[in-house]
Chains A and B, each alone.
Chain A
Amino acid sequence: SQQGEEDPQALSIQEGENATMNCSYKTSINNLQWYRQNSGRGLVHLILIRSNEREKHSGRLRVTLDTSKKSSSLLITASRAADTASYFCATAPMNTGFQKLVFGTGTRLLVSP
């Protein structure tokens, strides 16, 4: 079963705009990761934030984590048509001896030129 939910399920924006997607999860975690999936393809890792971190940046990506609310957000700034994809958050639950990832339901992002 899915660990959490992502919001919105779908997002449509114009190139140059920012895109924000949110993820909520249910259990205590070691870390939270964001992955991108182009249509019908495998997943690509974007960024990882540990449970003791509150914010992390990587290029045009900014991730926040609020463990008290069990939620995270991914911000993509100055979006491009190539950012069109599905975005998934994935949590590594606490007390797992390995990195079993539990994925959310995903946000489908469409960036129009």
Chain B
Amino acid sequence: DTGVSQDPRHKITKRGQNVTFRCDPISEHNRLYWYRQTLGQGPEFLTYFQNEAQLEKSRLLSDRFSAERPKGSFSTLEIQRTEQGDSAMYLCASSPWDYNEQFFGPGTRLTVL
């Protein structure tokens, strides 16, 4: 399968714990995006990478959130000191540099107890 992959698909954690999600974009896609989707809502933009550079972060991305794309390939999203309000689906997408369509992964569903 050459699509966007995300790991894990599901994560259950206790409040206060740290969690890390991984996204592997389609190879050779320069752009990588993270979105968060809560139940019954559309995805909301969190952050964007062009190659290894993080070019924009949403105000939704509090200081507890950090994202990296160290070699311009895979990306990680870490949430420190999780809160119940962090429970959501975290979606990763990628696209080529000059392409409008974004290709989404299956998402990581986070449940914070």
A41 touches B106 (CB 8 A): yes
User: Interface residues of B: mostly helix, strand, loop or mixed?
Assistant: strand
Q: Is A59 an interface residue (CB 8 A)?
A: no
Mask: chain A, 41-85; 1 = CB below 8 Å from B; 0 = not? 111110010000000000000000000000000000000000000
Within B77-113, the residues touching A (CB, 8 Å) are 89, 91, 93, 95, 99-107, 109
> Taking A40-B109, A41-B106, A42-B105 as contacts, is the C-beta distance between A99 and B100 under 8 angstroms?
yes
B42 touches A33 (CB 8 A): no
Interface centre among A2, A31, A98, A106 (most CB of B within 10 A): A98
B109 touches A99 (CB 8 A): no
CA distance A103 to B89 in the complex (A): 15
CA distance A23 to B33 in the complex (A): 23
CB contact between B31 and one of A1, A48, A99 (< 8 Å): that residue: A99
CA distance A24 to B9 in the complex (A): 32
B44 touches A99 (CB 8 A): no
Q: Is B41 an interface residue (CB 8 A)?
A: yes
Closest Cβ neighbor of B60 among chain A residues: A1
A98 touches B100 (CB 8 A): no
Of the listed stretches B12-20, B48-56, B64-72, chain A binds B48-56
> Taking A98-B31, A100-B56 as contacts, is the C-beta distance between A45 and B101 under 8 angstroms?
yes
CA distance A33 to B43 in the complex (A): 13
Within B10-32, the residues touching A (CB, 8 Å) are 31
B101 touches A104 (CB 8 A): no
30 residue pairs of the A-B complex, CB under 8 angstroms, read: A1-B44, A2-B41, A2-B42, A2-B44, A30-B100, A31-B100, A33-B100, A40-B89, A40-B109, A41-B107, A42-B4, A42-B104, A42-B106, A43-B43, A43-B104, A45-B101, A45-B103, A98-B31, A98-B55, A98-B56, A99-B31, A99-B99, A99-B102, A100-B56, A101-B43, A103-B43, A103-B44, A104-B42, A105-B41, A106-B42
